[in-house]
């Protein structure tokens, strides 16, 4: 699977306060978390690099992400529901409880990140790669998945109900307690050692 990388341009180092004052959110390098609470709404972060940013003091409302790179950031419980997320990388980030439900999720890489309780319900997923992530208790219910790759993730107690799993390879990931809809498991790829987990879902005992 080919992932289109963020199209990064020469960026300017600014603080969030300066961006709000200048009403500019493109080609920015952010490296300082705000000390005081700020609100950002109705904008698109375009070609921005976020490094070591804690979003706990930042309220984002109606914010799209295009061609962005997040590294060592904490975006726990941030709401991106129904937004447009394209060509974005999250590396070594804390994404606990982040809400991507009903998003257009295209050309996304999430690497070595804590994604427990991540919500992608009803999202349209195109070209998405998860690598070495903790996705325990995450939710992928009723997703429209075209291409997704899962490399060495933990997906324990995660939900894939009413999502077509044809062609999705779970073989390198931990899937204990996973919940799936059996009518959509045809073509799902699992390892020999994972077969008993799926068998247990439909009441088959392995010996």
Instruction: Dump pLDDT digits (tens) for 71-118.
Output: 999 999 999 999 999 999 999 999 999 999 999 999 999 999 999 999
**Among the listed residues 202, 132, 188, the one whose alpha carbon sits nearest the alpha carbon of residue 160:** 188
Q: How far is it, in rounded angstroms, from Cα 2 to Cα 11?
A: 25
Q: Does residue 175 form part of some domain? A: yes
- The per-residue pLDDT for range 181-203, each reduced to its tens digit, is 989 999 999 998 887 777 776 66
Q: Does residue 182 form part of some domain? A: yes
Range of the domain at 170: 27-201
Q: Does residue 38 form part of some domain? A: yes
Q: How far is it, in rounded angstroms, from Cα 124 to Cα 178?
A: 21
CATH code (residue 141)? 2.160.20.80
pTM: 0.94
pLDDT at 206: 58
CB within 8 Å of 14: residues ≥ 6 apart: 22, 24, 28, 29, 30
Long-range CB contact pairs, 113-116, < 8 A, 24+: none
Q: Does residue 151 form part of some domain? A: yes
- The mean predicted confidence, pLDDT, of the chain is 94
Domains of the chain: total: 1
Q: Does residue 8 form part of some domain? A: no
Q: How far is it, in rounded angstroms, from Cα 126 to Cα 201?
A: 28
pLDDT at 63: 97
- The per-residue pLDDT for range 121-146, each reduced to its tens digit, is 999 999 999 999 999 999 999 999 99
Q: Does residue 1 form part of some domain? A: no
């Amino acid at each position: 699977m080919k992932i289109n990388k963020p199209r990064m341009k020469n960026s300017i180092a600014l603080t969030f306060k300066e961006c709000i004052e200048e009403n500019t959110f493109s080609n920015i390098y952010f490296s300082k978390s705000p000390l005081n609470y700020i609100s950002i709404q109705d904008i698109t972060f375009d070609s921005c690099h976020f490094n070591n940013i804690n979003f706990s003091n930042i309220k984002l409302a109606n914010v799209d992400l295009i061609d962005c790179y997040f590294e060592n950031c904490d975006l726990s419980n941030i709401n991106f529901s129904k937004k447009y997320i394209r060509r974005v990388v999250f590396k070594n980030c804390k994404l606990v409880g982040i809400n991507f439900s009903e998003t257009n999720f295209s050309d996304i890489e999430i690497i070595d990140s804590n994604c427990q309780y991540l919500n992608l319900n009803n999202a349209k997923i195109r070209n998405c790669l998860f690598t070495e992530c903790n996705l325990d208790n995450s939710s992928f219910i009723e997703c429209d998945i075209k291409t997704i790759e899962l490399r060495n993730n933990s997906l324990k107690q995660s939900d894939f109900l009413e999502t077509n799993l044809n062609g999705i390879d779970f073989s390198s990931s931990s899937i204990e307690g996973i919940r799936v809809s059996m009518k959509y498991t045809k073509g799902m790829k699992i390892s020999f050692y994972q077969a008993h987990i799926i068998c247990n879902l439909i009441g088959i005992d392995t010996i």
